[in-house]
């Protein structure tokens, strides 16, 4: 029998994948389930460089080329336009789950519903008018993903079998042995045999027919029912049995039954199929029911072993052993970031207790001197590069402490606020690094190629930033209903300080936004309920950093090495002030709670300052030879100079 458990595992070994017997077998079975009406889905989870991609590639290599599709990343709308039958009964492999985050909604729908449909607006090639077109993608499809994330999206995890790569030291040694063996004569011989093995499996997979599977023992099976998520896990377990039976279709009699006028062929699952599924489900589904992720569970096991050894060596009780994060890194070979994440989870779930070194267990034990020492610690602290913490960082560490004790006093948990007299460091009010003139702004705006859809969208974004002076976080949150191009207004909802404000929008910006909404946005918007105004190339709301990158690109194109979204806000305020706008009106537009924040722009309007300086400073009237010019025709100037002369005599 070709599809024997030991044969499949041995063939993986011959192809260079050592260990991981359960993962290899489950991955192979999941890929085979593409022939079923409800295939399995798999996520391989591990830390970086642990071998998750190698495992996925090894499984995919044994499947026919024409029945697998592999991508490094997917955009939000890409699945909807893949063709009606391009994925039906195929494997969709995505190298990193993070690369599919934009398409997660479509992937979940495809896995649950077995198909995708979308109505999208496009231009009629004949008339040029906008028309609604329907796109449909048929499943079912087997999904295969890998991820380095410790915390997997719960919705995705519920739909998938989660396989975790063995990261133990013994597995690493086995991989090293295999890597060395590849350089030997035996390794050369294995390399020649590998292609023969892969061709054998691909051809065998091509011979598998789509058959129904009947489980005569289904009524006698039992499964955990203490959690709602076991409803999906139970379906995975039953599908695992069906897949094992389907894989052995040429070793089983093909039976048939008649339903109405239609004859249906099927095969039956055996007790051996159920036994193998039970063993695999115990290992794979058992992990998914654990409250700890597999990697954290392994860290906890390593800590148990280390604590046990320390207790025996130092003749202590287990509960008396103390350890630091450094010791955890040394015991588990984790990076500092990984150790911190796993320890935080173990502490939160009471697997590890934090040692109270200072004996401070309750808020009422905290005094003002303790908080002042903490503030001094922040001031004198030096980072790894020898630099002190910035004033903003120090303030961000202290502010939650002050707020927490203020809340405790208000709720009568403590009698007084020990942080009430704590002076928070104030970040210096710095002038903008680059002040753009009107001509500078125009050169940036003109950098967008409005003959292309993306260029037109980008011009509308830049015009909106300059005309309204809103923040980037406020721009990415704008919806279609927040902007009124006829009245020339823009509503900022829940801006900084969670306050709404109505902002004027210039006629030119309104024209560009109206053109973007009419011509470009329908091409980007894939979902009917998407109301965000400015959409990215993927048809989704902009991330703040992505918007900054877009603006910086046009700044560099115009010859400015520095500056981003906030440069337009500074420019708008400065230009309005130079043209005579009242500072209080600028304050309302910018959404500043305190006018002192707006007053920074009075220091940067250098054009006005120079004009006043040239008009009023006496040195302007002094000739190079030291002589005074003839009397001025302006009496005010004469009076001013006379006053200066009187001061000099006194």
Residues recognised as catalytic: 471, 496, 566, 569, 592, 601
- How far apart (Å, rounded) are the C-alpha atoms in residues 628 and 626? 7
Q: Which letter does DSSP use for residue 240 in this model?
A: H
SS3 85: coil
Structure tokens at 178: 């295999």
Structure tokens at 155: 């919705």
Helices 271-288, 230-247: crossing angle, 10 deg rounding: 140
In the block, tokens 């030879």 appear at: 625
- How far apart (Å, rounded) are the C-alpha atoms in residues 217 and 55? 33
- How far apart (Å, rounded) are the C-alpha atoms in residues 356 and 345? 18
Structure tokens at 479: 């919806």
Pairing of strands 501-504, 489-492: antiparallel
What stretches of 363-506 show up as alpha helix (H) in DSSP? 368-380, 391-410, 438-445, 453-468, 472-476
SS3 42: strand
Give me the numbers of helices (H) and strands (E) for the chain, helices first please: 25, 13
Nearest Cα residue to 604 out of 432, 428, 437, 466: 432
Measured in whole angstroms, the distance separating CA 459 from the mean position of its chain's CA atoms is 27
SS3 133: strand
Burial of 479 (0-12, 13-18, 19+ CB in 10 A): middle
Structure tokens at 381: 């602290």
Which residues does 136 contact at the CB level (< 8 Å), separation at least 6?
84, 115, 116, 117
Neighbours of 396 (CB within 10 A): 13
CB 470 within 8 A of CB 500: no
CB 413 within 8 A of CB 363: yes
Is the link from the previous residue into 140 a cis peptide, with omega within 30 of 0? yes
Whole-number CA gyration radius for the chain: 34
In the block, tokens 């001197």 appear at: 369
SS3 136: strand
CB 187 within 8 A of CB 261: no
């Amino acid at each position: 029998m070709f599809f024997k458990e030991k044969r499949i595992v041995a063939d993986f070994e011959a192809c260079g994948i050592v260990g991981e017997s359960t993962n290899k077998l489950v991955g192979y079975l999941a890929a085979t389930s593409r022939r079923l009406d409800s295939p399995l889905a798999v996520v391989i989870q591990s830390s970086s460089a642990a071998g998750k991609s190698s495992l996925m590639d090894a499984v995919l290599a044994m499947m026919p080329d024409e029945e697998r599709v592999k991508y490094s990343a997917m955009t939000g709308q890409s699945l909807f336009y893949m063709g009606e039958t391009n994925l039906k009964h195929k494997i969709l492999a995505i190298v990193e789950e993070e690369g599919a985050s934009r398409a997660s909604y479509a992937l979940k729908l495809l896995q649950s519903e077995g198909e995708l449909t979308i109505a999208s607006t496009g231009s009629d090639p004949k008339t040029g008018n906008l028309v609604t077109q329907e796109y449909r993608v048929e499943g079912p499809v087997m999904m295969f993903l890998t991820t380095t994330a410790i915390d997997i999206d719960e919705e995705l995890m519920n739909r998938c079998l989660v396989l975790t790569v063995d990261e133990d030291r013994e597995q690493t040694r086995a991989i090293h042995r295999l890597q060395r063996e590849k350089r030997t004569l035996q390794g050369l011989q294995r390399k020649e045999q590998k292609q023969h093995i892969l061709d054998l499996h691909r051809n065998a997979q091509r011979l598998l027919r789509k058959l129904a599977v009947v489980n005569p023992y289904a009524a006698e099976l039992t499964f955990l029912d203490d959690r709602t998520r076991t409803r999906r896990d139970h379906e995975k377990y039953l599908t695992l049995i069906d897949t094992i039976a389907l894989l052995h279709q040429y070793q089983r009699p093909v039976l048939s039954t008649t339903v109405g006028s239609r004859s249906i062929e099927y095969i039956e699952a055996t007790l051996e199929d159920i036994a193998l599924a039970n063993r695999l489900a115990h290992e794979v589904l058992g992990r998914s029911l654990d409250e700890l992720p597999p990697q954290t569970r392994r860290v906890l096991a390593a800590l148990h072993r280390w604590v046990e050894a320390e207790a025996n060596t130092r003749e202590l009780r287990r509960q008396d052993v103390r350890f630091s994060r450094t010791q955890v890194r040394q015991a588990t070979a984790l990076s500092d970031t990984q150790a911190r994440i796993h320890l935080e989870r173990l502490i939160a779930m009471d697997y590890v207790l934090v040692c109270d070194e200072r004996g401070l267990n309750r808020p009422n034990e905290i005094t003002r001197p303790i908080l002042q020492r903490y503030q001094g610690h922040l001031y004198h602290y030096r980072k790894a590069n020898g630099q002190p913490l910035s004033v903003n960082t120090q303030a961000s560490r202290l502010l939650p402490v002050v707020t927490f004790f203020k809340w405790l006093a208000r709720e009568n948990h403590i009698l007084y606020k020990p942080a009430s007299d704590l002076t928070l460091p104030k970040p210096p009010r710095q002038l903008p690094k680059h002040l753009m003139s009107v001509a500078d702004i125009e050169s940036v705006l003109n950098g967008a190629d409005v003959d292309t859809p993306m260029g037109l969208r980008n011009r509308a974004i830049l015009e909106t930033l300059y005309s309204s002076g809103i923040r980037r976080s406020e721009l990415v949150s704008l919806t279609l209903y927040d902007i009124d191009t006829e009245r020339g207004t823009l509503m900022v909802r829940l801006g900084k300080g969670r306050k709404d404000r109505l902002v004027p929008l210039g006629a030119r910006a309104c024209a560009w936004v109206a053109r973007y909404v009419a011509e470009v946005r329908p091409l980007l918007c894939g979902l009917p309920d998407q109301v965000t105004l400015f959409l990215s190339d993927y048809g989704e709301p902009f991330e703040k950093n992505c918007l900054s990158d877009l603006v910086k690109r046009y700044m560099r194109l115009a010859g400015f090495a520095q500056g981003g979204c906030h440069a337009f806000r500074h420019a708008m305020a400065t230009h309005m002030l130079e043209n005579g706008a009242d500072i209080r009106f600028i304050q309302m537009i910018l959404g500043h709670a305190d006018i002192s924040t707006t007053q920074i722009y009075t220091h940067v309007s250098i054009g006005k300052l120079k004009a006043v300086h040239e008009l009023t400073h006496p040195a302007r009237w002094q000739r190079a030879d030291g002589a005074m010019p003839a009397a001025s025709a302006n009496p005010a100037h004469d009076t001013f100079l006379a006053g200066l002369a009187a001061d000099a005599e006194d």
